[in-house]
Amino acid sequence: MEKFILKYFNLIRVAIAILIGIIISVCIIYIISKEPGISLKSLFLGPLLSKSRFGNFIETASPIIFCGLAIAIPFQAGQFNIGAEGALFIGAVVGTAFGVSTSMPAFLHIPLVLLVAGLTGAFWGFIPGFLKAKWNTSELVISLMLNYVAYFIGLYLINFHFRDKAAGYLVSYKLPETAWLVQFIPGTRIHVGVIISLGFAVLVYYFLYHTTLGYEIRTSGFNINFARFGGINVFKVIIIAQVIGGFIAAIGGMTEVMGVHRRFNWQLSPGYGWDGVVVAIIGRNNPLLIILSSLFLAYLRVGGRILNLLSDIPSEMITVIQSIIILLITAEAFLANWKYKITVREAKAKEVGNEPST
Amino acid sequence: MGNILSLKNIVKIYPNGVMANKEVSVDIEENTIHAIVGENGAGKSTLMKIIFGEEAPQEGEIYYKGKKVNIKNSLDAIKMGIGMVHQQLMLAPDLTVAENLILGIEPLRYGVFLDLKKITKLTEESSKKFGFKIPLNKKTRDLSIGIRQRVEILKVLMRNAELIILDEPTSVLTPQETEVLFKSLKDLKHHGKTIIFISHKLKEVKLIADKVTVMRDGKVISTNDVNQLDEHMIAHMMVGRKINFKRIPGAKKVGDPLFTVKNLSYLNEENIYVLKNINFEVKAGEILGVAGVDGNGQTELVEILTGLREATSGQIFIREEDVSRFSPREIREEKVAHIPEDRMKNGVAEHTTIEENIIVDRYYQDHFSNKNLFLDWKYISKSSEELIKKFKILTPSSKAAILSLSGGNIQKVVVARELSSNPRIIIAAQPTRGIDVGSEELIHNLLKDARDNGIAIFLVSADLDEVLKLSTRIIVIYNGEIVARFDDVNDITQRDLGPYMLGVKKKGE
């Protein structure tokens, strides 16, 4: 039993963290809601109760999956690049700009727009990566700051150069239909980008665990001294991991624009990049688990929106629940004592078996 | 005289499951200099952290001045009169010496303002009292390490420490600075202080300590008066392995020089010459052993030879080719294998599987991957399983995590990888450190077989028995210099090497 706990400790810990988060939120709902039954139903079952809500749930998960992957690759390389938000934003801006300025058949337009967005994001990942590899600057600080740079440059480009003045609010021109991603389930906005995100998750999984470059990335992340000792070019790995991350985040932003809004309409940074950090951590940087954690987070998000519409509880509640869960999962010390006690017992049992060794 | 500190049956297990102290009991007599010696990882530093309240033991009792105490943190320890000078000095570089000295015990005026006059007075008085000549108004960052260390000691004294712990204080000092330190320590003893002195330099222990405790593998081996022991006896207790001393049969066919090092020097970040003008060559079919006490430049030398560190000057040749500026990958492509001295730092990634560790130097080669793109896990598993069998690694499968293996088996994984890379030169640093006798025997035999197959082996070991058992020729390194060379090892014993290793004797080149 104790061996089992040690082996699956992280999974057990995540499950307990989620459970505690849910229990706390149920308690809070009971305290502040006049109709706790309806509130609980909206929050926990809401996303399943109609086709369009279910569609919302799936469609919300897609950019989160992209960003989770975008964060997971640098994280696996031991690089704490949290620039997915900026890469997603600037990638979508430049991709949109390219999309509205060109016209060609769809089979060319769609991949080209995605590619332009992706390359922009890749450049956004290259900056902190190169600075880290060359001068050992903190990729965390640089990528965080670049998020603001991306946000303001992006707004400038959209609002001053690609703004659709015919629309009543601050948005870009509409993308030509040749650059739309099809919404293929009637009654929902589930679009081809969702499938692309799942495809990317599988691809990234294969990339990390079955290619030599993926091996280099993971090995550098586990022990960079060992990687260098074995002859891996860690300079290259540090940069490439962040370049790929930026690329994927930007594709995520672009598919959202091409599949849902069909024009760039973000005046606030959408926050998917931060969700990406969250799902990457919950999914332990494993692309397949990131699909699950993204669905989990999207479910909570949509449930929160429904809760906000149909009950007397503000959707901020959801942020509280998420925060509790994430806090518990990321707090290394949570349940660490429990694990430590088991470890101590195991170590002692082993020691008894080994005596005397002198 | 009574004991100022008694430790009884201290057990410390770290969260990763390592048992660093196993039922350790030590008595520290008042007003003595008590040395604690042991190899890296013997548990010395952990024990000191427990005394200073930085780590909590799982079991055991601590008695200070006869009373049982519970030291929860270092503030507790300081209040009781225990002070510690860490190996890494802990001073604020931008403050002056005086400011550093009174940090945390600042004399105040009106409860708010620093009383500068009093600070000057206090610090001057203390430095005079203990005979420390220190420029009180200089910024700490402008001082040499030796002086900074004296600031630390004075800082501890100003907090009225009775018992002072010095963690490897001489490891960062030049010989002259060490002399000054030792004089101060003797003065402090005259002032009635008790000093715990951690070291693995036995000459220093003989020179300064009254008592010595030897630790090995988390346990106390013995505590004795220093004058009852000589350096060899201490060294033997420190290393402690049963002396299974039988030299392996001499090399049969020694060939041409394969690996040549010329005038190699290395200046570290602190501007100290860690390696000075190193010259040697290793011939095909021989084992060149490097004897020396740990920390005399061996680590840096091996890192330079394997491309992990760049030499300040000098050249390295493999046959005729200058490989001085080669990357680790390029060095490995020249068929150089490297068994690193710290297997957990360099030799493995502990959270990954055995097979992922075995392929780190070859994953990009044919069979292991398809054109350096896609890994062939089937082939990798198959070849890893073969190595597991051949090198007798105890594990259920090649997909087991390194973390689940014992130290000896982890080392076998490292050795299996390095020896199976088809090398013509092997650089082996501490190849059997901290592993069981069985694994040690196996690795020794493998190195012997490699030698007989015409491989040039460069062996660095702090274990003299190992050096004597395996080497065809021996060089001795002390303080970054080669101080002796023995081309004929047949009649050489530990006693012949000792004086050179400890810097007492030096042989002209």
- Res A357: pLDDT: 37
CA distance A321 to chain B (A): 30
Distance from CA of A4 to the nearest CA of B (A): 14
DSSP B74-127: HHHHHHHTEEEE-SS----TTSBHHHHHHTTS--EETTTEE-HHHHHHHHHHHH
pLDDT tens track for B139-173 = 888 887 778 888 888 898 888 899 999 988 876 66
pLDDT over 90 at A44, yes or no: no
**pLDDT at residue B436, rounded to an integer:** 66
Interface of B with A in 66-85 (CB under 8 A): none
Q: DSSP for A273-326?
A: HHHHHHHHHHTTT-HHHHHHHHHHHHHHHHHHHHHHHHSSS-THHHHHHHHHHH
Give me the phi and psi of B360, to 5 degrees please: -60, -25
Retrieve residue B55's tokens. Answer: 């780590």
Q: Let me know: does A334 contact A328? Beta carbons within 8 Å.
A: yes
Reply yes or no on whether the pLDDT at B288 is more than 90.
yes
* Tokens 């809500």 belong to residue: A53
**Residue A146: pLDDT over 90:** yes
* Confidence at residue A330, expressed as pLDDT on a 0 to 100 scale: 67
pLDDT in tens, B207-260: 899 999 998 888 898 899 988 888 778 877 877 755 455 788 888 888 999 999
B378 in contact with chain A, both atoms CB, cutoff 8 A: no
The partner residue sitting opposite B58, judged by closest CB among A223, A344, A357, is A344
pLDDT for res B175: 64
What does the pLDDT look like over A175-205, one tens digit per residue? 998 988 888 888 889 999 999 999 999 999 9
Buried b (16+ CB within 10 A) or exposed e, B97-135: bbbbbbeeeeeeeeeeeeeeeebeebbeebbeebebebe
Asked if B278 contacts B301 with a C-beta cutoff of 8 angstroms, the reply is yes
The HSE-up count of residue B426 (CA atoms within 13 Å, CB side) is: 34
Are B19 and A351 inside 8 Å of each other by CB? yes
Find the helix or strand (DSSP H, E) in which A2 lies: helix A2-7
What is the mean predicted confidence (pLDDT) over A16-27? 83
pLDDT attached to residue A8: 78
Contacts of B329 in chain A (CB under 8 A): 231-233
Point out the least confidently predicted range of A338-342, B248-252, B391-395, B423-427.
A338-342
pLDDT of residue B41: 66
pLDDT at A356: 40
Cross-chain residue pair A231–B308, CB shorter than 8 Å: no
Contact B478, B505 (CB under 8 A): no
Q: What is the mean pLDDT of residues A316-334?
A: 70
Tell me how far apart the alpha carbons of residues B245 and B441 are, in angstroms, rounded to a whole number.
12
Contact criterion met (CB < 8 Å) for B328 and A230: yes
Q: Which amino acid is at B72?
A: K
**Contacts with B396 from chain A: Cβ below 8 Å:** none
Chain A interface residues (partner B, CB cutoff 8 A):
210-213, 215-216, 218-219, 222-223, 225-233, 336, 339-340, 343-344, 346-348, 351, 357-358
Distance from CA of B182 to the nearest CA of A (A): 34
How is residue A207 written in tokens? Answer: 């990339």
Cα–chain center distance at A350: 41
Cβ–Cβ contact B217 with A under 8 A: yes
Q: What is the mean pLDDT of chain A?
A: 88
Instruction: Locate the chain A residue with the closest alpha carbon to B404.
Output: A7
Burial of B63 (0-12, 13-18, 19+ CB in 10 A): middle
Q: How many CB atoms lie within 10 A of CB A234?
A: 20
Share of chain B above pLDDT 90, in %: 43
**B399 in contact with A at a CB cutoff of 8 Å?**
no
**Higher pLDDT, residue B478 or A126:** A126
Q: What is the ipTM of this complex?
A: 0.81
Higher per-residue pLDDT: A121 or B184:
A121
CB contact under 8 A, A347 and B240: no
B chain contacts of residue A233, beta-carbon cutoff 8 Å: 327, 329
Contact criterion met (CB < 8 Å) for A219 and B352: yes
| Mean of all residue pLDDT scores within chain B | 87
As given in the structure block, the two tokens for residue A83 are: 């620039």
Residue B20: pLDDT band (50, 70, 90) is confident
Contacts A335 to B, Cβ<8 Å: none
- What are A336's two structure tokens? 């660490």
Whole-number Å distance between alpha carbons of B240 and B463: 10
**A211-262 tens-digit pLDDT:** 999 999 999 999 999 999 999 999 999 999 999 999 999 999 999 999 999 9
pLDDT at position A181 is 86
Q: Do B374 and A211 touch (CB under 8 A)?
A: yes
Judged by DSSP in three states, A28 sits in helix
Interface test with A, best of B333, B334, B346 (most A CBs within 10 A): B346
Q: What is the pLDDT of residue A141?
A: 94
The answer to whether the Cβ–Cβ distance between A229 and B332 falls below 8 Å is no
pLDDT band at B1 (very low <50, low <70, confident <90, very high): low
Question: What φ, ψ does residue B62 adopt, rounded to 5°?
Answer: -120, 130
Give residue B110's pLDDT.
82
Whole-number pLDDT of residue B40: 62
**What pLDDT is attached to residue A60?**
93
Q: Please give the average per-residue pLDDT across A322-339, as a whole number.
A: 71
User: Mean pLDDT across the stretch B357-361?
Assistant: 94
Joined together, the tokens standing for residue B18 give 């390592």
End-to-end, the C-alpha distance of chain A in Å comes to 32
> Which residue of chain B comes nearest to A227, CA vs CA?
B360
Residues of B in contact with A336 (CB under 8 A): 15
Q: Do the Cβ atoms of B338 and A227 come within 8 Å? A: no
Separation CA A269–CA B40 (nearest Å): 52
Nearest Cα of chain B lies from the Cα of A278 at a distance, in angstroms, of 22
Mutation test of the interface with chain B: which of A226, A236, A334, A342, choosing the one with the most B Cβ atoms within 10 A? A226
Phi, psi (5° rounding) for residue B474? -130, 140
Q: CA-to-CA distance for B411 and A227, rounded, in angstroms?
A: 17
> CB–CB of A226 and B16 under 8 A?
no
| Closest chain B CA to residue A347 | B17
Task: Give residues with Cβ within 8 angstroms of A19, minimum separation 6.
Answer: none
* Chain B partners within 8 Å of A212 (Cβ): 363-364, 369, 372-375
